[in-house]
Every structure is written in structure tokens, then in C-alpha cells.
Amino acid sequence: MSASSRRTSAASGVLVAAYAAMAAGLLVGSLRWPLIHDAPIMHYIAWRIGNGAVPYRDLFDMNFPGTYLVHLAALGAFGTSDSGWRTFDLAWLGATSLALAAFARPWGWAAAVGSGLFFAVYHLSGGAWQVGQRDFFLVVFLVLGALGVARWASGMGRATLACSGLALGAGMTIKPHAALLAGALAAVVIVVGIRGGSPVTAPLAVFLGAAVVLPAAVTAWIAMVGGLPAWRDIVLHYLVPYYVRLGRPPSWAFYRWYIWIPIASAVGVSLAHAVLCRRFTVRHAIAALGVAYGLTHYVGQGKGWEYHLYPLAAFAGLLAWAELAAALAHRRVLGGPLAASLALALVLLGQRGVEAANAGWIREKGDLVREVTRELGALATGDTVQVLDTTEGGLHALLRLGALQPTRFLYDFHFFHDEDAPEIRALRAELMRDLTARQPRFVVLFDHGWPTGGPERIARFPELHRWLTERYRVLVPRPGYTVYEKRRDS
């Protein structure tokens, strides 16, 4: 090895070691993260499904079935404990980082290890509330899908295309947005086949055929258990016309948005080096398509939620690290800025991790869940509880208690937007019908509504307000929530 190569390897090694040290520190700090925020909601749904509830028919939710299957697997393997959830999350993170490393391996060891560590640092710096987000689960399937097409383009057999299609199909069962990346990769298959002078019909059929296998299987499962009509109704009459435009942000400036400045700089410099030095390959193109997909994934959902950036982070990390060793070795003007951008991204991600680790609202939400659980501890066999909540911890408390609701409504925000629309009026009527027919022993009203509103929102639902006032008494008014108990004479 020449002196220049040794210097390049050392420089790359220092940056990789810095990312490794940060990942290790964040990992140790994450070991006590609780099951919190969105994840216990999906756990509750999975628990209900595991005990015979039919998705969508018995549980009104907008998520796709793959999310439930992931949480069913987590519950089956590790139960509902905080430590079990940390184990599952870290195992999933490890699998995702290995998939990224496998994609980046042809670019050298620094790119392989660095891209995997970059994603690990990104995830672990996000805090406990990011754990279990669907977009995080999705990434491993997106990367495996991209990897299969890249390997096929480099001369491997069609079996890699089949694996690619299966992976992307698995992703579609979690978020159908993955179909956009599948379409982009199908275009890569066509272009590579044409440029190579080979027929494209057969490889394209293998890829697309494999991509529909798991979505078809999951749809068949929902149909077999009797949930398909309700799922179709939720998608067509609630998700598409209402939910997709609900809660759009007044600003796209999400938490610590400026972290993306050095990340974007690293991606741009790396791509410039690949193009200028004629190193740009099909693998680079696929990673660039992944970045384009990640941007579309975030902007297209229109919510401005930070965890929607997970796919972008994964593919941006790939491109950012792809040319590091080559740029440093060639002594180009681009090597220094690329390394500096990655270093600055690490510093900002570390700051993000420190702030997320000390987030007081996580502790407060955990305390609230424990308090609600204690308040409802007197539940007798057959008692039910209706929570009027979104993500404040109501379903988390029911999960701990093993308690059922008398209706299929997991959240209450459906009832407080577009209130004159016939679909929303129908949902309100269904809620009141089921509450009247199967009166719960307790109703828990949480103060914070989503996307807006406080406890006064109940007044905007006169039928519910009247029913609650006439048939229930306030048992426990607490900061953050109120417990109502059924009157003995009602």
C-alpha cells in the first residue's frame, strides 16, 4: 500500500471510528428507552388481533396490515416489556444497517461500514418516540429491494430480482408508498436490459410478479378474516378524502431541520465526484433514485413529521459515503468538503441525540400512562373502557390492563374535523350506537386532541356530550385527563 493510500485509509478510518463511537454511545443511552407514543398503539392493535379481533372491522385504523404483522411478531417474540421492545428495535436496526452495508460494499469498506453506522446514528439520535415508526420499519425492505436490482444489474441471476420484488412488496404492506420506488426500479430493469441488448420482458415479469406476492397474500388474509369491506371503506371514505389532508403543518421546519444541510452537502459533493471522475454507476443511480423517493415520501405525505424522513436518511447516507475514500485518495478539492460535511452531520446528530435523550415529555407521558393504569385498576371481568385520545397514552394503559373497548374506535380525532361531512356524521352515529348498546364502565377523556383542541372538543359533539353527562360521573379529574365512571342508575 502506498503512502497516499495509507493516508486515505487513515482519514476514512478516523471518520468511521467517530461514527462508531457515537453509535455506541447513543446505543448505550437508549437501552432504557420505554415503549412510548405511537408504538404502544400498534402493540394494542396487534394484541387485539392476536386475541381474535378482525382488523378494520373491529379496529378502526388507517395503517396497512404489514404494520400489524410486524407488531404481532414483536409481541410474540418479546412480549410487551420495555426491554423486549428495545431488543426488537435494535435487532431491526442491525438488519437495516447490514442491508445498507451490503449495498455499499462495492464502493469499499469505508462506504459499507460508514453508511450502516450513519443510519444507526440517525435512528438512535431520534429518541424513544421514533422507535417503531412505520417509516423506520419500511427502510430495510426498500434497501433490500434496491440491492437486488443493483446485483442483477451487475450480472447476478434473476433470483436477485425475485428477492428484490418480494422485499418491496413487503414494504408496500407497511406503506403503499413503496410502490413508487418499485416503479423506479422497474424502469432501471428496463434501461439496463435495453442497454445490454437483452430481452427485458422476462426479468421485468420476475421483478413485478414477485412485488405483488406479499401484498396479495396480506389482502387475502384480511379478506379471509372478514375485514376487507371495512378496510376498503376506511381507505376510500376516510383515509383518502380526509386523513391525507389532516394535520398539514404551517411550516416544513421540523425539529432540527438544519441537520440536513451538511447531509445534503455530502450527498451533492459525493455525486459530483462520481460524475466528474466517471465513477457514476448503476448502483449510484439506484441510490440516487432512493434519495428522490425519500424526498417524495416525505413531501408527498404532507404531515411534516420527522420520522417520514427515514427513507431519505437511508439513501442519503449511502450516497454521502459512496465516494469518500475515492475523493480523499484522488486529492481532489472535493475530498475535504465531503469529509467535513460528514463530520458536521455527526456533530449535529450527536446534539440531536442529547436533546432527545433528555426530552421531558417522554417521562411525563410515561408517568401519565402509569397514573391512568392505576386509576383504572379496579376493572372487573367483562368491564370495558372507552378512551377518547390519539397518542397521549390511553391505548397504552389499556394494553397494560388487558382491557377492551366497547367500540372499534381507537382514536377520537375522526369525530372533530369536517363535522358536517356525511362520512364523519356516520362515524359519530356508529360511535354513539355502540356506546349505547355496550356501555363501558369507564370513559377516559384526554385533554390534548389532535391535530387541535382540548377537553372542550366534546362540546362540539353534542350527542356524546349529552350521553356522557347523563350517564356518567366524573370519577377522577387529573392534569391531562379525566376519568368518567358509569352511574349505577344508568
Q: Does residue 126 share a domain with residue 29?
A: yes
Give the structural domain span for 445. 361-486
Do 123 and 226 have their domain in common? yes
CA distance 80 to 275: 49
The pLDDT score that the predictor gives to residue 489 is 75
Instruction: Looking at the structure, tell me whether residues 215 and 304 fall in a common domain.
Output: yes
Mean pLDDT of 100-119: 97
- CB–CB of 171/138 below 8 Å? yes
CA atoms within 13 A on the CB side of 100: 32
Neighbours of 265 (CB within 10 A): 18
Residue 198 DSSP label: -
| Helix orientation angle between 39-50 and 394-401, rounded to the nearest 10 degrees | 40
Instruction: Using only the alpha carbons of the chain, give its radius of gyration.
Output: 25
| d(C-alpha 166, C-alpha 271), whole Å | 29
Q: Contacts by 243-248 with C-beta closer than 8 Å and gap 24+?
A: 243/62, 244/301, 244/302, 245/302, 246/413, 246/417, 246/451, 247/303, 247/450, 247/451, 248/302, 248/303, 248/304
If asked whether residues 185 and 83 sit together in one domain, one would say yes
Residue ending a domain, choose from 357, 386, 416: 357
Are residue 410 and residue 261 in the same domain, yes or no? no
Considering the domain architecture, whether residues 79 and 120 belong to the same structural domain is answered as yes
- Specify the pLDDT at position 9: 74
**pLDDT per residue over 420-449, tens digit each?**
999 999 999 999 999 999 999 999 999 999
Angstrom distances, CA of residue 181 to CA of 8, 152, 189, 195, 283: 34, 16, 12, 21, 14
Among candidate residues 357, 392, 413, the one where a domain is terminated: 357
CB atoms within 10 A of CB 205: 13
The phi-psi region of residue 409 (left if phi > 0; otherwise alpha if psi is between -120 and 50; otherwise beta) is beta
Instruction: Name the domain count of the chain.
Output: 2
In this structure, what is the dihedral angle of CA atoms 228, 234, 236, 240, given to the nearest 10 degrees? -140
Q: Which of 290, 325, 357 is the last residue of a domain?
A: 357
Q: Is the pLDDT of residue 410 over 80?
A: yes
CA 56 to chain centre: 20
For residues 61 and 80, membership in a common domain is answered with: yes
pLDDT at 253: 62
Q: Are residues 343 and 410 in the same domain?
A: no
User: Distance between CA 37 and CA 35 in Å, rounded?
Assistant: 7
Percent above pLDDT 70 for the chain: 97
In this structure, the number of other CB atoms found within 10 A of the CB of residue 125 comes to: 26
CB neighbour list of residue 426: distance below 8 Å, 6 or more residues apart: none
Q: Looking at the structure, do residues 414 and 465 belong to the same domain, yes or no?
A: yes
32 and 134, same domain (yes or no): yes
Please state, in angstroms and as integers, the Cα–Cα distance from residue 461 to each residue in 86, 141, 294, 414, 420, following that order. 39, 42, 39, 11, 11
The pLDDT value given to residue 5: 62
Whether residues 183 and 34 share a domain: the answer is yes
Least confident of 121-135, 242-256, 297-311: 242-256
pLDDT tens string 19-56: 999 999 999 999 999 999 999 999 999 999 999 999 99
Same structural domain for residues 334 and 400? no
